[in-house]
Structure 1
Amino acid sequence: MIAAPFYLSIMVLQGAFRGYQDTRTPFQIMILANIVNLVLCPLLALVLKMGVVGAGLATAASHLTASLGLLVLLFKNNMLRVADLWRVRPFQGSLSLARTGAILSVRTFSILSTVSLATTTAARMGTKELAAFEITRQIWALFARMFDATSVTAQSLIPLHLGRGKYTTARAITNRLLSLSFAVGILFAIILVGAARPLAQLFSRDPVVVALVASCFPVMGLCEPVKGNVFVLDGCFTAGRQYVFLSGCILFACLGSAASLFLVRWASLPLPWVWVCLNLMMVLRGLILTQRYVHPKYSPIPVQDIPASSSDKQPPR
């Protein structure tokens, strides 16, 4: 709870730097924050015998470091002034931000709820199944964080060209990111499918857990190229300000995944089927977003550029 305000401020401050096309500064600050966590966690938890409390304090210290570091650099680089903090914002503008935040929170809530349902489904199968699922979920989240770099790139570069009416350039950037993320997804798939058992043995010595993890990795791997493209399209639709459609798409995909998870429970299917259900969430998102992206009328990035005199126009929402 101590770290919660600092964690939220990190999200806001990172977004501010991205708005200025600066992703290097947050990257450097987050490296420093992780070093702080890496040093303090074993020191407090193990050396000083503080256990989980020490680990929590280490995490809080790292969040405090990142938050203060980003805030100081925001002032130092003249991206923010002290007077800006005391300026009264128009109510309409604040209401618009709150509305957008509420819409996007549907996306976050849907994904977290689906993953939580998958976790409880694995827990109903047994302790070893739950242990195996948690291992695979961490790898899934790790690859998702890597793919998130392409989403951030899309959110940073595409609005710049949309605002100038250079839709052709924005679409070219999106297509290039889609190709790159798909290639990286294939690489991740090869790793998960080709080295499933050696990877599983890195996380557990229990033969049952190792076997379960090894059986799940190939199922996860098959969806990695799709997942890569989904992250790019998420960034593209966010850049195009199609928040309602994006959240609705994710909600629909998560409902489909949740329904399939209940089917897994009813049929007492093994653990790999839980990952089939989570893959379904990604596939549905990918299909819906791709169909919208290529649509000549409703795409977040129109096909043709607009004249310079009309550059203040926005793409259809």
Structure 2
Amino acid sequence: MTQTAPAPPVAARRIAGLALPALVVLAAEPLYVLVDTAVVGHLGREPLAALAVGGTVMSLTAWLGTVMAYGTTGRSARRFGAGDRSAAVAEGVQASWLAFGVGVLVAVAMQLGGAPLARTLVGAHGEVADAAAQWLRIAALGAPGLLLAAAGNGWLRGVQDTRRPLLFVLGPNLLSALLCPLLVYPAGLGLAGSAVANVVAQTLAGGLFAAALARERVSLRPCPRFIRQQLVLSRDLLIRGVAFQASFLSATAVASRFGAAAVGAHQIALQLWFFTALVLDALAIAAQSLVGAALGAGDEAGARAFARRIGLLGGVCGILFAVLIGAGAGVVPALFSSDPAVREQAMVAWPWFVAMQPLAGVVFALDGVLIGAGDVRYLRNLTLVAALGGFLPAIWLAYALDLGLGGIWAGLTLFVLLRLVALLLRLRSGGWAVVGAVR
């Protein structure tokens, strides 16, 4: 094998240089949602409920954007590593066309189907359904910008530019956080003001990423062949994501059968688990960029070294989370609920929650390695097997045997453990480390 360039030093500093800005970008949207929720919450119970319904629908669009960004990062990083920046940016062009097209479809669909969808989710006609439909119709106009920004994040991470995504995401979100209370209260728009603020932020962010593409001086024409390739990659990541969503929805459904205290405690632990996943996702994004670039440069040894270092860092982060979560066992649940029964149930899940953190740290990191390598079909199949063959049977068995919340979280731990074993075997086999500008 001919290696075109030596690998750069495998330094934690270089990984952190990609992971930390990515973490800020990942956290910007959830933090803005908290601001939005706080502002709308003072309008009353019905507007807050309407925001919850509409926000849940739009969060699915944001999830589509995350899938698109991950797929684009790996392809762009490979071409960048091969020394062809123009081709790496061209991947961003095609991803942006795909993102814009999907965003327009979402916007049109919500104008036509927002009201029936809101009524279906609420379960009845009334003020909440009507308000949710109005919010959805307005907020959906920001979908093209939201998905353009996701595609932009993908190709810029691929070329290892973390400064511009930070500015392009933080600036519009800060503007929207200022606009939201002004439009809701002094301007008198009420709940609609929240939706308008969302649209302003998402459209501005999408415009900034599109302008960054234009400044690269590459052809902006759509190429159906490349778009089809990206659709295949996104399809595999989407199927994988659906398996996750189905698993977590099933876990919540089973928890609800053990009573209100159990499902409340499950929600606390699950949301904290999602928070730790957000931090570990930033490490996975660094893995996507660095591993993709190394393989694109023909440097299999460098890619393997990055994979080992990033997996190790993921494990270290997981151990730190385990220590913090374990130390906070007597305090953290009380921050979310004053109900003694909920806190008691949280302690049932807590040992499993703590124990899985080091395992999950390695799993998230290695997920990023394989996405960067373009090995998404293996990830898709692994997730389906672990979910259908491990997690779902375990949690429904917990229900059948009345094992309570501990049984559910033992099932989640099994899900993580199965993925960890399969990822380590894949890493050791080397089947993922295919060099070249494209896979």
TM-score, length-scaled by structure 1: 0.84
* Match runs of 1:18-57 below 5 Å: 18-41=157-180, 55-57=194-196
Structure 1, 38-47 or 167-176: larger mean CA deviation: 38-47
Residues 212 and 16 of structure 1, relative CA distance in 2, 3 Å threshold: same
C-alpha contact 1:17 1:23 (8 A) present in aligned 2: yes
1:207 aligns with 2:340: yes
1:46 CA drift (Å): 7.3
2:401 to 267, 285, 303: 267
Residues 264 and 79 of structure 1, relative CA distance in 2, 3 Å threshold: farther
The number of equivalent residue pairs is 299
Residues 21 and 118 of structure 1, relative CA distance in 2, 3 Å threshold: same
Q: Which runs of 5+ in 2 are unaligned?
A: 1-135
- In structure 2, the partner of 1:308 is none
- Name the % identity: 29
1:285 aligns with 2:419: yes
1:49 CA drift (Å): 8.3
- In structure 2, the partner of 1:151 is 284
Structure 1, 56-65 or 163-172: larger mean CA deviation: 56-65
1:107 CA drift (Å): 0.8
- In structure 1, the partner of 2:211 is 72
Q: Which runs of 5+ in 1 are unaligned?
A: 303-310
Q: Amino acid of the residue matched to residue 162 of structure 1?
A: L
Q: Amino acid of the residue matched to residue 301 of structure 1?
A: A
Q: Amino acid of the residue matched to residue 175 of structure 1?
A: R
CA RMSD, aligned part only? 2.6
- In structure 2, the partner of 1:11 is 150
TM-score, length-scaled by structure 2: 0.62
Alignment partners' CA distance in 1, 2:159 and 2:288: 11
2:301 to 153, 156, 168: 168
Alignment partners' CA distance in 2, 1:49 and 1:125: 44
Deviations 1:74-114 (A, max 9, x none): 43xx2365xx33x241x433322222222221111111111
Q: Amino acid of the residue matched to residue 79 of structure 1?
A: E
C-alpha contact 1:103 1:244 (8 A) present in aligned 2: yes
C-alpha contact 1:196 1:215 (8 A) present in aligned 2: no
Deviations 1:120-166 (A, max 9, x none): 11222222322222222211111101001111111101111112221
Deviations 1:161-215 (A, max 9, x none): 1122211111111111111111110010011112112111111222222222343
1:276 aligns with 2:410: yes
Alignment partners' CA distance in 1, 2:241 and 2:427: 21
Q: Amino acid of the residue matched to residue 348 of structure 2?
A: S
- In structure 2, the partner of 1:226 is 359
* Match runs of 1:59-208 below 5 Å: 59-75=198-214, 78-79=215-216, 84-85=219-220, 87-89=221-223, 91-208=224-341
Alignment partners' CA distance in 2, 1:59 and 1:22: 26
1:216 to 316, 324, 349: 349
Alignment partners' CA distance in 1, 2:189 and 2:406: 37
1:24 CA drift (Å): 2.6
1:50 CA drift (Å): 7.0
Alignment partner of 1:125: what SS?
coil
Q: Which structure's relative contact order is higher, taking Cα pairs within 8 Å and 6+ residues apart?
A: 2
